[in-house]
Structure 1
Amino acid sequence: MSYFSTLCVYFLMVLNPIMTNTITEDIDVLVFLPQNNSYLFSHTRVAPAIIYAQQRLQADGGRYSGFQFNIQFENSDFVNGALYMLVDRSCGNKPDLILGPVCEYEAAAVVRLASHWNIPVISAGALAVGFSNKNAEYSHLTRIAPSYVKMAETFSAMFEHFTWKSALLVYEDDKEERNCYFTLEGVYHLMADFNIKTYAFSHEDRLDTDDIFQNMYDTEVVIMCTGADKIREIMLAAHRRRLTNGSHMFFNVELFNASSYGNGSWKRGDKYDNDARHAYASLNTVTLLRTVKPEFENFSMEMKKSMKKAGFHDCKDCESVNMFVEGFHDALLLYAIALHEAMKSGYSKRNGTEVTSRMWNRTFEGIAGHVSMDENGDRNGDFSLMAMTDVEAGTYEVVANYFGENGTFQLLPAFRMDHFTLRGKYKALTEIPEKTCGLGVSALTGVIVGAVLGTAMLIAFYFFRKNYRITIERRTQSEECATGKHRQLREDSIRSNLSAA
């Protein structure tokens, strides 16, 4: 009887979490975020979102309230700093979950090691094309923010819809984080079937707009990724050259829902504002689809309060929640869902492969709305296309949306087909100032002048040759006559001498 009672108690203990749908577990979470607030994903910006998610998950009576998250934040300001910290942790207990790093170069090293140690990694970064290969070294990486290739799907859908064939990718390369390089690498990688050219410039060098426009000669679409001020400089120069008359499509990529990478803002309060407003009438912006979900509004308010509490008062990018803040919140939620399922099926939190696989190819409700993860562990991205719909006011509206989960391109009421129709392409290009090579206006003028001068020279040469020929013929006749007389005199002289002999 005692044995039977003990057995019953044992089964009740095992089955109780399943019956109550609550599982108790301590989870060690290691978070890599930089302390430097110049990063859009700094500790000051992102940590409040992770704590917010932790509190929601551990709310009384919730399905995941039995999970006790022990969160440790580590600085990832320095190259390889996150990797060294993770290696140091190997001497003690390894973490059950790693959040971050964001930067590609740091993330690569950490994810390789974590995959070897069977530790799930979730990042709102590591967005470059190279991380898409999850077969080996990045096998435990889940990307909770849309990668650059997912953003590129928006352009691919537009090219198919509007039958565009060619593009010039213009980007600023800082040689450090290289956000714009990796962004347009995604476009280049996905759109290999189109005629794609690239033009890169350093943020330290003077922007050579003449060189950019020379490279535009045989392309229809210009896709730019650079700072907001550089975007304005390019568009003003394009407007002066009459390249904003519909001869080309201009696009700007607004990265991470942050204005530092250009948000269609033409106004600076200077003497060029009026020209900029008309130039930006031809500039379209691709950005992440924003939500107006009430829950997200509450989350945004809390994040702003956290910024102010941390003394982050003068922050131009803190008006709206960027994708890193949102992403890291959803990362903890996604892990809780996957771990709960795995443990209900009898797996341990230490089985990183199993937990990771349950985060892939699924959907759930994130803080901003519906989140869809593909079968490769990457979040499907929803993006908006913005265009200036009121030129006099200089205001933008969302005119189309792209939904990554099903690959659909939705046109909204504000969309105007004529705005996205190419016209007068090559006429505009003849007004590009000519440089040292290529055929522009000055070269064409030179050819015409050269042809006229050449014709004049040929005519002159013809008359000169004709007159010269007449003179030669006359001179020849005279010389032949004189020669005949000399010959006759010689012959007469010879005969006289012979006669005398």
Structure 2
Amino acid sequence: MDIRRILPVLMMQVLCVCAKQIKSITIGTILPEDNSRLFSINRVEPAMAIALEKVVGELGIITDRNITIHFADSKCNVADGINEAINFFVKKEVDVFFGPCCDYAAAPVGRQIHYWNIAMVTPGAMARDFAEKQHMFNLMTRVGPNMNSLINFVTTIFKTFHWNKVNLLYDPDGQSHIVNKYCHIAIDGLHYGLTLQQQHYFKFDNINMILQSFTENIGKETAGMYILVH
């Protein structure tokens, strides 16, 4: 995903909607400062500056609006994300939210904006629950990959090959450098998406227990078919 190409188009669409109503537009951007995160402030801020140049000004689509971008650190945390959103709202420093991206930070913000009537755009929020647009996340727009697409892909494969048994093997904290509990979010979506398949549950405390289960349970009962997320 080339954020430099996506942001100008995305910003143009969002700002054009806001520009119909107000002269000054403020974007509240809530992202982690931690540079190990894919969408950290230091990674996104230059791209947003480039996008703003392409959208606003003599050569842009919007020529008569003042655009301001504020940044705040979500820390990829459920409490910090909503706290920064509340700060923006109370100070009247936001017309549209960009982010949060991390699922646990995005969830409370995505729910609250319904009452503020403020839109939210995020390349994150990958969990299946965010697809609930009718009542809960009606003002959130996801522009990146998400688990709903993964669920559709996997269920299509299972239906095509008539697979009826599946074991979901994962580390709950796996790949947390991308998004907190990334593997848990992925498997949660698959678990609820695979409604026609038999699913079995095991808890492993170490790798030896996993290897032993491969021989005694998984290989025999599932004919060697399993999904490994790590």
- How many percent identity over aligned positions? 25
> Following TM superposition, by how much is the alpha carbon of 1:63 offset from its aligned partner in structure 2, in angstroms?
2.9
Structure number, greater radius of gyration: 1
Name the CA shift for 1:28/1:160 in 2 (closer, same or farther; >3 Å).
same
* Partner AA of 1:130 in structure 2: D
- The aligned counterpart of 2:191 is 188
- The aligned counterpart of 1:52 is 50
Cα deviations across residues 331-363 of structure 1 (Å, max 9, x unaligned)?
xxxxxxxxxxxxxxxxxxxxxxxxxxxxxxxxx
TM-score in terms of structure 2 length = 0.76
Name the CA shift for 1:48/1:211 in 2 (closer, same or farther; >3 Å).
farther
- The aligned counterpart of 2:86 is 87
Structure 1 moving runs of 4+ over 4 Å: 198-202
2:38 match: secondary structure: coil
CA RMSD of aligned residues (A): 2.6
The answer to whether the Cα contact below 8 Å between 1:101 and 1:107 also exists between their aligned partners in 2 is: yes
Name the CA shift for 1:124/1:61 in 2 (closer, same or farther; >3 Å).
same
Name the CA shift for 1:145/1:207 in 2 (closer, same or farther; >3 Å).
farther
1:115 match: secondary structure: helix
> Following TM superposition, by how much is the alpha carbon of 1:84 offset from its aligned partner in structure 2, in angstroms?
1.6
Name the CA shift for 1:199/1:182 in 2 (closer, same or farther; >3 Å).
farther
Aligned length: 203
> Following TM superposition, by how much is the alpha carbon of 1:98 offset from its aligned partner in structure 2, in angstroms?
0.4
Give the distance between the partners of 2:30 and 2:66, measured in 1 at CA: 19
Match of 1:222 among 217, 222, 226: 226
* Partner AA of 2:87 in structure 1: D
Give the distance between the partners of 1:38 and 1:125, measured in 2 at CA: 15
Cα deviations across residues 166-211 of structure 1 (Å, max 9, x unaligned)?
2211111129711111112212222211223355657xx5463324
Give the distance between the partners of 2:23 and 2:108, measured in 1 at CA: 29
- The aligned counterpart of 2:132 is 133
- The aligned counterpart of 2:210 is 209
* Partner AA of 1:28 in structure 2: T
> Following TM superposition, by how much is the alpha carbon of 1:46 offset from its aligned partner in structure 2, in angstroms?
2.6
Give the distance between the partners of 2:156 and 2:96, measured in 1 at CA: 36
* Partner AA of 2:122 in structure 1: S
1:95 match: secondary structure: coil
> Following TM superposition, by how much is the alpha carbon of 1:79 offset from its aligned partner in structure 2, in angstroms?
4.0
The answer to whether the Cα contact below 8 Å between 1:168 and 1:215 also exists between their aligned partners in 2 is: no
Give the distance between the partners of 2:144 and 2:94, measured in 1 at CA: 22
The answer to whether the Cα contact below 8 Å between 2:103 and 2:125 also exists between their aligned partners in 1 is: yes
2:226 match: secondary structure: strand
Give the distance between the partners of 2:135 and 2:26, measured in 1 at CA: 25
1:98 match: secondary structure: strand
Give the distance between the partners of 2:166 and 2:68, measured in 1 at CA: 48
TM-score in terms of structure 1 length = 0.37
Match of 2:67 among 57, 66, 69: 69
* Partner AA of 1:180 in structure 2: C
Name the CA shift for 1:197/1:40 in 2 (closer, same or farther; >3 Å).
farther
Cα deviations across residues 224-264 of structure 1 (Å, max 9, x unaligned)?
211xxxxxxxxxxxxxxxxxxxxxxxxxxxxxxxxxxxxxx
Name the CA shift for 1:200/1:225 in 2 (closer, same or farther; >3 Å).
farther
Are 2:24 and 1:26 equivalent residues in the alignment? yes
Name the CA shift for 1:114/1:194 in 2 (closer, same or farther; >3 Å).
same
> Following TM superposition, by how much is the alpha carbon of 1:38 offset from its aligned partner in structure 2, in angstroms?
2.2
